[in-house]
Amino acid sequence: MRAVTFYNTLGRRLGPFEPLELGKVRFYTCGPTVYNHAHIGNLRTFLFEDLLRRGLRFLGYEVTQVMNVTDVDDKTIREAAAAGLSLDDYTAPYIDSFFEDLDTLHIERAEEYPRATHHIPEMIAMVESLVAKGYAYVADGSVFFRIAEDDDYGRLSGFDLAEVRQGERVASDEYDKEDVRDFVLWKGAKPEEPSWDSPWGPGRPGWHLECSAMSMRYLGETFDIHTGGVDNIFPHHENEIAQSESTTGKPFARYWLHAEHLIVDGEKMSKSAGNFYTLKELLAQGVEPRAMRYLLSSTHYRKKLNFTLEGLADASAALRRLDEMRFRLDHAREEAAEPSLVAATGEALERFTEAVADDLNVAGCLGTVFGFSKKVNVAIEAGELGPGDRERVHRLLARFDELLGVLDPAAWQPAETGEAGDDAAIDALVAERQQARESRDFVRADEIRDELAALGIAIEDTPQGPRWKRQ
């Protein structure tokens, strides 16, 4: 197990991460609100959480991750009513769609995906406890959290309560609040809305309450890490802390990690701007899921990620370069008497591991992969591969891929096209030869032709460009 540093939004600083239980990490992730398909911004955050999970495991920790599914809130209720469907019937296809998207991007499954509608009793119990302790009050069938009772409120987000005038009333449907700053725990049902029986009459949980109740149900009153996108910091996570700590009198999550947003062509993604993408739309346009995973991983999670189609093309090209190295490695002879990549593999693993432990610096990890790949290519071209080098490199790539999940082309091919990973690498070599010819580097072009011929691949130059076939 390796020491790791994280940036904790709580306290706003980088520091050592120490789980409650040695070597074991319990973390909670705000999941999707299933009123629509996830967009690629949501998926960037879910992929960050996948990298966090894999990164911790890479460093030797045992991980338990819980991600909720918000299947009841204002949006799901509104859209289900508009569609004339029950809440369950309306959300079911979006829940399926969410899991499909996870699979498409090779995002590992969390240990639990609790649904809000399956945990209403726990939520009611929490509200009862808050009312009993004086942290909450009932007003006209709804229950509100009394912020004035919570001295710590605002410590996650830096939100200054004093700036909101006490007692001010706002024009909203929460007009029964004692204080404008209070937030709703339980919403009394309006006519026709889905509802559950409670001590305060029929109603439904507020969104913040859902996450508090489900995280504590599966991870305990105090757990290690809570994650989400930066938009969750306020009010969602601030309110989760207020409710949870007021209920238990104990610290809630100890580390809060937040992923910055994905933007598109430098702008906020929005339906009205026409730059709003779902993964499924991009796949229909022929986008490679593997390039998508690579692109979404390649910017540090605390930086905004600017999604562009050129960025995706660059991601594909970067992966091709790595595939080409793998392909060459598989077919190169180990001619040298001594291995030549022992030191390089050791150093690369060390550097990669340091980057993982440094606040999950996946961009740094990728930099190490490319530096290492260059060294392998140089060794192959110089005829310096020696005993065990091929296996040594493969083992290291497999170890890197425990975190990255993009390096093995075969893992991204449908089962029936076993040779497709090789095909992509051959395409890349043929393209490289063509480039060499165009820049009149005939020596290099012939080298590649010979290299391919040795593998039983023949190139034919046609007026439409080069073609290749297996002989």
**How far apart are CB 405 and ligand AMP at their closest, in Å?**
19
d(CA 92, CA 220): 28
Q: For residue 113, how many other CB atoms are within 10 A of its CB?
A: 19
Instruction: Examine residue 30 and tell whether it contacts Zn ion (CB under 5 A).
Output: yes
Q: For residue 3, how many other CB atoms are within 10 A of its CB?
A: 9
Touching Zn ion, residues 423-442 (CB under 5 A)? none
Residue whose CB is less far from ligand AMP, 49 or 408:
49
Instruction: Examine residue 211 and tell whether it contacts Zn ion (CB under 5 A).
Output: yes
Kindly give, in sequence order, each residue whose CB lies less than 8 Å from that of residue 100, ignoring residues fewer than 6 positions away.
none
The single residue listed with the structure tokens 């390096």 is 407
In whole angstroms, how far apart are CA 189 and each of 20, 83, 143, 186? 40, 19, 12, 9
**How far apart are CB 44 and ligand AMP at their closest, in Å?**
5
Residue whose CB is less far from ligand AMP, 261 or 331:
261
**Among Zn ion, ligand AMP, none, residue 421 binds (CB under 5-8 Å by kind):** none
Question: Exposed, middle or buried: residue 212 (CB in 10 Å: 0-12, 13-18, 19+)?
Answer: buried
Instruction: Examine residue 396 and tell whether it contacts Zn ion (CB under 5 A).
Output: no
**Among Zn ion, ligand AMP, none, residue 80 binds (CB under 5-8 Å by kind):** none
Cα dihedral 226/227/229/230 (nearest 10)? 50
**Among Zn ion, ligand AMP, none, residue 41 binds (CB under 5-8 Å by kind):** ligand AMP
Binding part of the chain for Zn ion, among 25-33, 90-98, 254-262, 353-361 by CB under 5 A, reads 25-33
Instruction: Examine residue 225 and tell whether it contacts Zn ion (CB under 5 A).
Output: no
**How far apart are CB 329 and ligand AMP at their closest, in Å?**
36
**How far apart are CB 97 and ligand AMP at their closest, in Å?**
12
Supply 280's token pair: 């499924």
**How far apart are CB 40 and ligand AMP at their closest, in Å?**
8
The residue sitting closest to ligand AMP, measured at its beta carbon, is 229
Instruction: Examine residue 130 and tell whether it contacts Zn ion (CB under 5 A).
Output: no
The site for Zn ion, by CB under 5 A, has a size of 2
Residue whose CB is less far from ligand AMP, 226 or 326:
226
Contact in structure between 328 and 286 (CB atoms under 8 Å): no
d(CA 341, CA 202): 68
Residue whose CB is less far from Zn ion, 244 or 373:
244
Q: How many CA atoms lie within 13 A of 306 on its CB side?
A: 5
Helix (H, G, I), strand (E, B) or coil at 470: strand
**How far apart are CB 465 and Zn ion at their closest, in Å?**
52
**Among Zn ion, ligand AMP, none, residue 262 binds (CB under 5-8 Å by kind):** ligand AMP
Residue whose CB is less far from ligand AMP, 182 or 260:
260
Helix (H, G, I), strand (E, B) or coil at 52: helix
Residue ranges that bind ligand AMP, judged by CB under 6 A: 30, 32-33, 41-42, 44-45, 70, 228-229, 231-232, 259, 261-262, 269
**How far apart are CB 191 and ligand AMP at their closest, in Å?**
27
Q: For residue 267, how many other CB atoms are within 10 A of its CB?
A: 10
In whole angstroms, how far apart are CA 176 and each of 147, 341, 462? 15, 70, 77
**Among ligand AMP, Zn ion, none, residue 211 binds (CB under 5-8 Å by kind):** Zn ion
Helix (H, G, I), strand (E, B) or coil at 230: helix
- Could you tell me the sign of the dihedral formed by the alpha carbons of 365, 366, 367, 369, in that order? positive
Helix (H, G, I), strand (E, B) or coil at 7: strand
Contact in structure between 55 and 403 (CB atoms under 8 Å): yes
Binding part of the chain for Zn ion, among 147-155, 211-219, 403-411, 417-425 by CB under 5 A, reads 211-219
**How far apart are CB 233 and Zn ion at their closest, in Å?**
11
Q: Which of 213, 201, 200 lies closest to 239, judged by CA?
A: 213
d(CA 377, CA 381): 6
Residue whose CB is less far from ligand AMP, 41 or 206:
41
**How far apart are CB 135 and Zn ion at their closest, in Å?**
19
Instruction: Examine residue 360 and tell whether it contacts Zn ion (CB under 5 A).
Output: no
Chain residues in the site for Zn ion (CB under 5 A): 30, 211
